Amino acid sequence: MLAMLAALVASGCAKAERDGSSLIVLLPRDVQELDPRLTGDAYGHKVSRLLFASLVTLDPDTLAPALDLAEHIDELDPITYRVRLRSGLRFSDGSALDARDVVATFESVVAPAMQSRYASTYRRIARMTIEDPLTVRFTLTGPHATFITDLELPVVREEDRATQLGRLGRSAPVGSGPYVLEARGEGRLRLRANPHWHRGSVKRPSVELLVVRDDNTRALRLLAGAGDVAINAVPPLLLPLFTDDAAFTVQSAPGAGMTYLGLNLEAPVFADRRVRAALAHAIDRDALIRAKLGGRARLADGFLPPQHWAQSPFPAHAYDPARARALLDAAGKRPNASGERIRVALRCGSDRARVSIARAIAAMLAEVGVHVDVRPTETATLIAALNHGQFELSFLQVPEVVEPHLLSWFFGADHIPGPNVEGANRWRLRSAELDAALERGRLTTDRAQRIEAYRTAHRVLHEELPVIPLWHEDVVVIAASRVGAVGVSRLGRFDPLAQ
């Protein structure tokens, strides 16, 4: 495969087509939403943070909240916070950004008409008081340890509070991030520098985001000079094309995301936790990391990344096929004449690299008598099927895990997707002990008490296995040497394009 791609480039089959004025960043998927109050897709989330700025951002190395539009944040008591804005802030159209815009943003995200997936988080704000044009006092309904991180919601103009921003065919949104949306079409966005960005001049004054869905075509465009940068957009098996080529720089950093198998606990085949544990013991994660990811990942012991302050890892379910068979026997899943014990369908995304990994996992499970039918599915259809419980096994990735309270979004009983219910507990896990632990972690700002609460949460998840943690993939950035170095964010975000 590598030799064939190199030959195609050498023969001129991948001809560069560009005007040379913009930095071209290649994406594997299109952006669905640009309004930061509505984004649910990974690339919409990343691009929205280039167009809009927040009171706080996330440090790309430590993953801790860092001041952005806010100059000071003071905790006056467990439910009261005073936020002071930087002076002189402006939106990209030159209009002033002040306390009224902040209040309008947080009011809009909970407005029923906006239908924001984030509304439940911000309903914990009881009231907001404008003390002066640069100062807002937030009063919460009760203690909420994640409030500072929650201030990462990007600020929109007061006049846009009821408008869904960034839709195709509509005028470009006005934000206060490093870039302005100059043009948008199917599979293409063109950005230019925001002259009023509060951090000064951007590093790349013109950026074009171009969607190339096929992995090989994406690599070919880079090699042929028809693209400049790929952030987590080239499969590991194609990386040697760039690591051994002086025309490119390849940088990586430990990622904050997690790749996992999700199990539908309401599917009869997974009602017995011994069956779920058997699957975990049947997967050789080390071999998959070496063979499919080129070694660019770390084994996952839980949902949170290694060295996270709230991570309380329990011993991973080690690769042990004999143990897997014994668990299946104990659960009454004995092999038939052909050696098959159970049959399940595995839903995954449709991109080639993920399908290849899913099929490798299926082959490992087949060794212990679990027949897996791999069903690649386009992303939107896949998520809809999972939300409706129309699956048995799924192969997924969460791109960034920073605040441990995110565990409630994925595993809380009140976040099982359904009519008028937002959440990602697609596994249908219901655990009163887990919910209580997550609530204890939310209600206290005491670090030691939060660690203990999340230790309980991790133990329950380890025992119940609604998901099987696989690995934390590195963030890999490929850049053409001619455009200079591009930094790497552990979150896989696009901030380094501007800074």
**For residue 12, is pLDDT > 50?**
no
Contacts of 197 (CB under 8 A, 6+ apart): 53, 92, 176, 177, 178, 498
Number of domains in the chain: 3
Are 262 and 410 in contact by the 8 Å Cβ rule? The answer is: no
Residues 265, 187 share a domain: no
- Confidence tier at 395 by pLDDT (50, 70, 90): very high
Is residue 56 included in any domain, yes or no? no
- Please tell me the predicted confidence (pLDDT) of residue 301: 87
Here the CATH number for the domain that contains residue 80 is 3.90.76.10
Per-residue pLDDT tens over the stretch 227-252: 999 999 998 889 999 998 999 999 99
Q: Which of 137, 156, 175 is the last residue of a domain?
A: 156
Per-residue pLDDT tens over the stretch 278-327: 999 999 999 999 999 999 999 998 888 887 888 877 878 999 999 999 99
Is residue 168 included in any domain, yes or no? yes
Is residue 172 included in any domain, yes or no? yes
Torsion over CA of 17, 19, 25 and 26, rounded to 10 degrees? -20
- Please tell me the predicted confidence (pLDDT) of residue 154: 97
- Half-sphere exposure in the Cβ direction for 234 (13 Å, CA): 31
- Confidence tier at 418 by pLDDT (50, 70, 90): confident
What average pLDDT does this structure show over 37-47? 90
Q: Which of 113, 137, 156 is the last residue of a domain?
A: 156
Residues 493, 426 share a domain: no
Is residue 4 included in any domain, yes or no? no
Residues 317, 423 share a domain: yes
Residue 410: φ, ψ to 5°: -90, -20
Residues 454, 378 share a domain: yes
Q: How far apart are CA 13 and CA 7, in angstroms?
A: 9
Is residue 351 included in any domain, yes or no? yes
- Confidence tier at 351 by pLDDT (50, 70, 90): confident
Q: Which amino acid is at 174?
A: V
What average pLDDT does this structure show over 475-493? 91
Least Cα distance to 67 among 143, 127, 152, 142 occurs for 152
- Confidence tier at 20 by pLDDT (50, 70, 90): low
Residues 276, 174 share a domain: no
Could you tell me which residues are beta bridge partners of residue 132? 135
Residues 298, 271 share a domain: yes
Residues 240, 189 share a domain: yes
Q: How far apart are CA 459 and CA 149, in angstroms?
A: 25
Here the CATH number for the domain that contains residue 363 is 3.10.105.10
- Which is it for the CA torsion 46, 51, 57, 62, positive or negative? positive
Neighbours of 306 (CB within 10 A): 14
What average pLDDT does this structure show over 371-391? 92
Is residue 366 included in any domain, yes or no? yes
Q: Which of 156, 177, 194 is the last residue of a domain?
A: 156
DSSP state letters, 357-392: HHHHHHHHHHTTTEEEEEEEE-HHHHHHHHHTT--S
**Domain that residue 88 falls in:** 66-156
What average pLDDT does this structure show over 2-14? 48
Q: How far apart are CA 192 and CA 42, in angstroms?
A: 21
CA geometry: angle 58, 314, 417, nearest 5 deg: 60
Could you tell me which residues are beta bridge partners of residue 128? 138
Residues 397, 267 share a domain: yes
Per-residue pLDDT tens over the stretch 152-202: 999 999 999 999 998 877 788 999 999 999 999 889 999 999 999 999 999
Q: How far apart are CA 248 and CA 360, in angstroms?
A: 30
- Confidence tier at 18 by pLDDT (50, 70, 90): low
Angle between helices 273-281 and 321-330 (to 10 degrees): 170
Residues 489, 351 share a domain: no
Is residue 13 included in any domain, yes or no? no
Is residue 82 included in any domain, yes or no? yes
Residues 150, 178 share a domain: no
- Please tell me the predicted confidence (pLDDT) of residue 15: 46
Residues 140, 169 share a domain: no
- Which residue would you say has higher pLDDT here, 4 or 412? 412
Residues 204, 305 share a domain: no
Here the CATH number for the domain that contains residue 191 is 3.40.190.10
